[in-house]
Structure 1
């Protein structure tokens, strides 16, 4: 049995039931094998989570065109991460918990190189890379967590109810929130995320 087969089975368990569903007992049952076959390739659950996360992130990074214009490559990287974390919410949680592990470092390296290609100067390069990383992983992780918690609910009805509550707030205290209420029901999380990326890139362009 290969490490790839084990990681694929672990990913299926994580996708179907979240981190609590990934136990070595559940994994050996799914693979119809013993603990020894699993321990030959991975040390424990944390090692499995890290390996499964590495695989998802590697898939995103492999999709970043090496010859693309850096801004377009950054948009593609950000959207790729957003979509994969949306599909695999546990990835967002894993990246947030372990910012120094290989998956996060690979993302950071890719972001930094693309920003460097945009000629972002000196200290601003470090700051821009950190801010962009925090935005991408933070928003993507939050979106995935919210989607998982509201799984099975009627999104349109939920947003309409929230917008209704916002519209009834005190206009003197919450003038902006009341304006936002009109946009909330029909907004698209992915489009809003990408709008944020474009705002970041527009600001970064002024640093060169």
Structure 2
């Protein structure tokens, strides 16, 4: 007797069952899960808590989403749908890549959990929105003249995801302190300067454009990556 083939462990690889509760849709479940993730992080999300928020039992949720891993796949792809993908690739490939990178960063900062779960969310890359984003990048690099557009996309995404993860974690720490970023840095700065022996930020932190400094840091590293890729052409 032939052995049964193992199903692909992804929400994108199985057919969705007809819902028994018309008011409870997969989209409403995913949007509520994203709201919970944005507010309290990954640790706070469970199928039981999500069911309570939706006035539905966990069993009802499982009719739409089989596991929490599937839920995370769906949440990741839903958030990627917020990144606007132009219908046509940019003529200037560097400008297009910068647009894509900054769009990803902005989305990751709105949803601080996103970047940290990309490598854990099962086969999230099979989702239609995430695939549209990676296809957009591939078209940009093809326009630039790269023979294999996937090769330059890998270091680019490694940089963008890594920097966005670090920045999102920093902003989450600041938010949990109950202070503004300037207040938090001002309180942290003396200890940091004592440890390093250097003036790490302007003395008047309250007047410093900390968001602008973070943006400048991100853009500098992005330019370094793109300069390196340009040399490969």
Same fold (TM > 0.5): yes
Measured in 2, the distance between the counterparts of 1:65 and 1:153 equals 41
Measured in 1, the distance between the counterparts of 2:204 and 2:140 equals 33
> Does the CA contact (< 8 Å) of 1:166 and 1:181 recur in 2?
no
1:73 corresponds in structure 2 to 96
Match of 1:145 among 152, 162, 169: 169
Measured in 1, the distance between the counterparts of 2:81 and 2:160 equals 16
2:228 corresponds in structure 1 to 203
- CA offsets, 1:91-140, max 9 Å, x none? 11111335863169735444333222211356xx5553221111000000
Measured in 1, the distance between the counterparts of 2:224 and 2:95 equals 13
Match of 2:85 among 58, 63, 84: 63
Which segment drifts farther, 156-165 or 193-202?
A: 156-165
Which segment drifts farther, 178-187 or 18-27?
A: 178-187
Measured in 1, the distance between the counterparts of 2:130 and 2:38 equals 23
Measured in 2, the distance between the counterparts of 1:65 and 1:111 equals 12
SS in 2 for 1:59: coil
Structure 1 length-normalised TM: 0.79
2:110 corresponds in structure 1 to 87
Count of residues in Structure 1 that have an aligned counterpart in Structure 2: 199
In structure 2, the CA distance between the partners of 1:113 and 1:30, relative to structure 1 (3 Å rule), is: same
1:54 corresponds in structure 2 to 77
Q: Does 1:189 align with 2:218?
A: no
Deviation (angstroms), 1:202: 2.6
Greater helix share, 1 or 2?
1
Task: Provide the aligned C-alpha RMSD in A.
Answer: 2.9
Which structure has the larger Rg over C-alpha atoms? 2
- CA offsets, 1:62-119, max 9 Å, x none? 4345242322221111111111111111111111335863169735444333222211
Unpaired segments of 5 or more residues in structure 1? 172-177
Q: Does 1:26 align with 2:49?
A: yes
Structure 2 length-normalised TM: 0.72
Measured in 2, the distance between the counterparts of 1:95 and 1:88 equals 12
- CA offsets, 1:2-59, max 9 Å, x none? 2111101111111111112211121111111233331111112111111100111132
> Does the CA contact (< 8 Å) of 1:163 and 1:184 recur in 2?
no
Measured in 1, the distance between the counterparts of 2:59 and 2:102 equals 39
Q: Does 1:159 align with 2:188?
A: no
